[in-house]
Amino acid sequence: MQRLLGAEGALALGALIGDAGLRAAIRAEVALVRDALVTGAVELDRDALALRIDRALAGRAERAGRRHLRSVINATGVVLHTNLGRAPLGADVLDEVVDACRGYAALEYDLDEGERGHRDRVVKSLLVSLTGAEDAMVVNNCAAAVLLACTALASGREVIVSRGELVEIGGGFRIPDVIASCGATLVEVGTTNKTRAQDFERAITERTGAMLTVHQSNFAVVGFTQRASRDELAKLARARSIPLLEDLGSGALVDLASFGVGHEPTVQEAVSGGSDVVMFSGDKLLGGPQAGIIVGRAAWIERLRRHSLVRALRPGRIVMAALESTLVRYARGRATDELPALRALVEPLSVVEARAARLEEAARAHGFDLRDSVGAPSVRGAIEPSIARVGGGTLPLVELPSRALVLRADDSDGGQRSIRGIERSIRTQSEPPIVARVSDGALWLDARTIADREVDAVGRGLARALAESHASHRSDLREARPQPTLDPDEP
Ligand SMILES: *Cc1c(COP(=O)(O)O)cnc(C)c1O
């Protein structure tokens, strides 16, 4: 132990995880070596074993030194990839977040009055002016917004929902379960495919706390269908003094249809259409940080704000800073230019295509011409049409025309192994890791979700992966073939 503790890998690991952790790691590595000795897998040589253990400790140090939440390159073509953190924030927004968070910030402090303020003030006036609503507040995510609204307005009462909207959003967020956890009773009306305003009207009793509509974000119902219109439900809500809650999910502030991306109902539409409480995500089509934004009529929002759950659901200042900075881009009419997620959604195909071509050039600059067949089984790369997706459970039917750098191998087992090996290599060996997609036995790197500043890193990662693939294939061949008799004259 004393000898191992002083070696290079051990010192590196100890600096990262402390003495107790280091000793535990050494004991674990020694145990492995002991097992290997028993099975005869390693030679009994003190120096060699010590070196072997220290290398393993160095490997542990390298892994321990890496953050888990590392930045990755999204080559999947899914713009709002929930597993990759949804909307990228971009350097401009982040600079403002850093400024607001490096030291202290006026989070709940009114600088003009020199007294305590409310943290919703940070974004309230922006949200009010952007959406046309009377009031606004922010919680952790849209799921929290629905939880808060149903709890504050309908706990111990009934919530009426169409059977066509009793959906699961993902991550186990199911509308019936949420309503149950709010202490409210779900009243289902209509059918899976058809619900009318009269269905809601007939279900209203003195126990009704709210009517809830849920945007069909991640699926589509087609054919013989009908939904109660927002207009009808708003009239009904007004006449019976019941709040109409609308879970919009994505909540676009700009109409993406004007950019040829499908139509997603906008927040402005929901507000002007008469929904009393409109809830949406910060990190879907808004293109900002994870947050749940609630806008609507002042009287209802005030009831939500006074509920004790708010304290448990409020976002921290990092989120508030990023959200304000994001909303400012909308106020200035710069959202589709300056917010990376929106930019990726509306970017013209010609720009995506040019970036795809630069990916190929970057790989060449790092030593691999993808048009040449590389190795045997051969792997070749070419720019091909592809389909990018909005993601985040949003606009599931929309196909964003895109271009991808596609690596294809022949159909042999070896070819398929090469493609999977290259995918694994760019994911685990590249810095930053590159997340791409294998489909029909080919590796797709979609240029729509790759940022300009990432092009060189993708080229480097690919070149390295292909070099590895080439080398490992050659060593396979050497092992597989009978060794030629050595010619002493050969160099
Ligand atoms: C995505 C979505 C949610 C959940 O939003 P989060 O911000 O991820 O909590 C809720 N409702 C609908 C309709 C959604 O599409």
pLDDT tens-digit readout, 99-119: 999 999 999 999 998 999 888
Question: Within a domain: residue 490?
Answer: no
Query: Quick one: pLDDT at residue 413?
Result: 85
Mean per-residue pLDDT of the chain: 91
- Is the pLDDT assigned to residue 195 strictly greater than 60? yes
What ligand 1 atom has the least distance to the C-alpha of 215?
13
Domain-embedded: residue 69 = no
Report the amino acid identity of residue 478: R
At 132-174, the pLDDT tens digits run 999 999 999 999 999 999 999 999 999 999 999 999 987 778 9
Q: Output the domain CATH number for residue 443.
A: 3.90.1150.180
Residues 397 and 421 in one domain: yes
Atom of ligand 1 nearest to the CA of 214: 13
CB atoms within 10 A of CB 102: 8
Closest ligand 1 atom to residue 171 Cα is: 8
Which residues are CB-contacts of 69 (< 8 A; sequence separation ≥ 6)? none
Strands 437-439 and 158-162: unpaired
Q: Which of these three, 289, 316, 338, is where a domain ends?
A: 338
Looking at the fold, whether 348 and 380 belong to one and the same domain comes out as: yes
Same domain? 324 vs 447: no
Domain at 223, CATH number: 3.40.640.10
In this prediction, what percent of the chain has a pLDDT beyond 90?
75
CA nearest to 445, candidates 364, 388, 377, 376: 388
Tell how far the Cα of 301 is from the centroid of ligand 1, in angstroms.
19
Classify 474 as helix, strand or coil: helix
Same domain (yes/no): 144, 208: yes
Atom of ligand 1 nearest to the CA of 250: 15
CA 164 – CA 279 distance, rounded (Å): 19
* Rounded distance from Cα 173 to ligand 1 centre (Å): 8
Tell me if 71 is assigned to some domain. no
The amino acid that residue 124 corresponds to is K
For residues 298 and 363, state if they share a domain.
Answer: no
For residue 396, cis peptide bond before it (omega within 30 degrees of 0): no
Q: What is the pLDDT of residues 396-453, one digit of tens each?
A: 889 999 999 999 998 888 888 999 999 999 999 999 999 999 999 999 999 999 999 9
Q: Are 282 and 421 contained in the same domain?
A: no
Domain holding 59, by residue range, is 2-64
Number of separate domains in the chain? 3
State which amino acid sits at residue 314: R
My answer on whether 348 and 317 are in the same domain is: no
217 lines ligand 1 (CB under 6 A): yes
Which of 86, 247, 394 is the pocket-test mutation for ligand 1 (most atoms within 8 Å of CB)? 247
Inside any domain, residue 70:
no
CA distance 304 to 294: 9
Task: Tell me if the bond preceding 482 is cis, omega within 30° of 0.
Answer: no
Q: Are residues 300 and 425 in the same domain?
A: no
Strand bridging mode 115-116 / 109-110: antiparallel
Work out the number of other CB atoms within 10 angstroms of the CB of residue 486: 7
Ligand 1 test: best mutation among 80, 147, 165, 173, most atoms within 8 Å of CB? Answer: 173
Domain termination residue (choose one: 277, 304, 338): 338
Shared domain check, 392 and 463: yes
Average pLDDT (360-387) is 85
6 in a structural domain: yes
Residue 489 has pLDDT above 90, yes or no: no
Asked whether residue 385 carries a pLDDT value surpassing 60, the answer given is: yes
**Averaged pLDDT for residues 179-192:** 96
* 314, 338, 362 - which closes a domain: 338
The answer to whether residue 153 sits within a structural domain is yes
H-helix segments, 83-185: 91-101, 121-131, 142-154, 175-181
Atom 12 (ligand 1): residue with closest C-alpha? 249
Kindly state if the Cβ of 393 falls inside 6 Å of ligand 1. Answer: yes
Q: Provide mean pLDDT across the span 365-384.
A: 81
- 355 token code pair: 């970036």
Find out whether the beta carbon of 247 lies less than 6 Å from any atom of ligand 1: yes
**Local confidence band at 334 (pLDDT 50, 70, 90 cut-offs):** very high
Q: Which of 152-156, 459-463, 479-483 has the lowest mean pLDDT?
A: 479-483
Maximum separation of any 2 CA atoms in the chain, in Å: 100
pLDDT at 478 over 60: no
Residue 488 pLDDT > 80: no
pLDDT for 387? 96
In a domain, 368, yes or no: yes
**Is the same domain home to 323 and 369?**
no
Query: Which of the residue ranges 11-20, 41-50, 185-194 would you say has the lowest mean pLDDT?
Result: 41-50
Ligand 1 atom at minimal distance to the Cα of residue 144: 9
Give residue 395's pLDDT.
Answer: 87
> 209-264: per-residue pLDDT in tens?
999 999 988 888 889 999 999 999 999 999 999 999 999 998 899 998 888 888 88
User: Ligand 1: does its nearest atom lie under 6 Å from the Cβ of 140?
Assistant: no
Assess if residue 309 is contained within a domain.
yes
Are both 303 and 348 inside the same structural domain? Answer: no
Half-sphere exposure at residue 137, Cβ-oriented, CA atoms within 13 angstroms: 23
Q: Flag whether the pTM goes above 0.85.
A: yes
Using alpha carbons only, how large is the chain's radius of gyration in Å?
A: 28
Q: Are residues 170 and 235 in the same domain?
A: yes
Q: How far is the CA of 254 from the centre of ligand 1 (A)?
A: 18
Residue bearing tokens 């949003």: 394
